[in-house]
Structure 1
């Protein structure tokens, strides 16, 4: 009951905040504080966003971007989670590879776009590769931190009853680390969407199709600013919806963890 009240209050506050921002932007345009040429009226932008929902070219771009996003996120989980468990359970391996990880982690994925363009002939593969590179880090690090947070007493108790390392990993480490992995995947989903659209923009029309390519093509129209802002709104909506779905899944699957950590 309390959770539903909090959710309803957050939704109400969010809706009021969005409505307030819309009113402010509309008012500043109407009274001339902001030139409609530099920044279109909020009402026109929303109308354009509504029309984009039935625009075949835009919808095709959304499907392409989400396809790369989903595949990249799936590959991220398949690569980063096992790697995190290996590094987390084998301290010497982690110590040996930690300098390499710390060297690679700060490198922006978008800085690798020119290299990726030279290496990949298929632009979809290029997007997916950059998504995996950028998204692996939060999943990998959260998996490592989750393993370090496992109760050592629980592991020692299982070992005292004769359970081997694999049994301890399966019965204790994996369930305890799962909420951390889920949080890492949720953070990676936002990164994956950002990288997908940014890669399409930086690679230009050569990247095939996607939201970023649609933005480039729409930039040559007479009402380009309306298209750009409306498309950005849809990108934000997609990111918000995906994050909300991940949060909902986390709350339902890991209720015990939420009840332990959430402050009401």
Structure 2
């Protein structure tokens, strides 16, 4: 039911975009009808240049997300498990986290030029905070009674993290990864657009500068499809990883 409604919404939106320029509400010079965008997309996917750009974007996105997830989970558990360390880093985290990643573009370009590395810096920086903050919340949510029980049984630090802290923090971490995946994609395309590093974002900028409007919209459509796919993949992975958790587990009716 939900899937059907979602598809119906997409079809309705596509029909609206088809009618708006054809009815003269907006010039098709600036907003081509859906049929022309899809026709252009069919031509674009037949080009080797498109696939090279797509792979560059996916590589930057996946690598940046992986680095952010590993760093965010590791530091989140370490900082959250040590009260003194969490208190000492709280103000620093709250200072750095709101800084927009795009504000780092001049620094990234100065250090690495118009390369994938520059875009990667933006992706990692933006995605890292999504994971770190969620893991910190998860570690802080550990039941005090369970923590005292583990201490009374003289459970070691590693065992406490493995059997107590991590199961509690895992749902938060999964949410952080899902959020980070979307943020990473946004920053990947943004970096390619602004910095000019290889990828779909650069191809969109080139199409815009060349006044190839249908091609530009076709590439934008591809980035949207990647976002939908990334969201579906992360949600599916989240449900599988958290199949044991009450928020995901479906109770079998008696």
Matches within 5 A, 1:105-144: 105-121=97-113, 123-144=115-136
Pick aligned residue for 2:221 from 233, 236, 244: 233
Task: Choose from 46, 64, 69 the match for 1:77.
Answer: 69
Structure 1 CA distance for aligned equivalents of residues 44 and 232 of structure 2 = 23
TM-score of the pair, normalised by structure 1: 0.89
- Contact 1:251-1:258 at 8 Å conserved across structures: no
Change in Cα spacing, 1:68 to 1:37, as seen in structure 2 (3 Å) is same
Which structure 2 residues correspond to residues 239-254 of structure 1 after superposition, within 5 A? 239-254=227-242
What's the Cα RMSD here?
1.8
Separation in 1, partners of 2:184, 2:250:
27
Contact 1:57 1:214 in 2 (8 A): no
Structure 1 residue 153 displacement after superposition: 2.0
Query: Displacement of 1:45 after TM fit?
Result: 0.9
Unaligned runs of 5+ in 2: none
Among 83, 89, 92, the alignment partner of 2:84 is 92
Pair 58,151 (structure 1): closer, same or farther in 2 beyond 3 Å = same
Which residue is equivalent to 1:35? 27
| Pairing partner for 1:213 from 184, 202, 218 | 202
In structure 2, how many angstroms separate the alpha carbons of the residues matched to 1:12 and 1:164?
50
Distance 1:64 1:260 in 2: 34
TM-aligned CA distance change 1:202 to 1:122, over 3 Å: closer
Note closer, same or farther for the CA distance 1:13–1:258 as it changes in structure 2 (3 Å cut).
farther
Where structure 1 has 5 or more consecutive residues not aligned to the other structure, the ranges are 1-8
**Counterpart pick for 1:255 among 243, 248, 254:** 243
Instruction: State the TM-score, normalizing by the size of structure 2.
Output: 0.93
Provide the C-alpha distance between the structure 2 equivalents of 1:34 and 1:86, rounded to a whole number of angstroms: 54
Distance 1:112 1:225 in 2: 29
8 Å Cα contact 1:63/1:210 also seen in 2: yes
Q: 1:30, 1:77 → 2: CA distance? A: 46
Alpha-carbon distance in 2 for matches of 1:45, 1:260: 39
How far off is 1:221 after superposition?
3.3
Deviation at 1:52, TM superposition (A): 2.2
**1:62 paired residue number:** 54
Q: Is the 8 A contact 2:239 2:248 kept in 1?
A: no
Deviation, 1:261, is 8.2
Q: Does the 8 Å CA contact 1:48/1:227 hold for their aligned counterparts?
A: yes
**Structure 2 residue matching 1:256: 3-state secondary structure:** coil
Query: Which residue pairs with 1:165 in the alignment?
Result: 157
Q: In the alignment, is residue 19 of structure 1 matched against residue 11 of structure 2?
A: yes
Correspondence 1:46 to 2:38: yes
Q: Distance in 2 between matches of 1:121 and 1:25?
A: 38
C-alpha distance in 1, partners of 2:246/2:115? Answer: 40
SS of 2:24's partner is coil
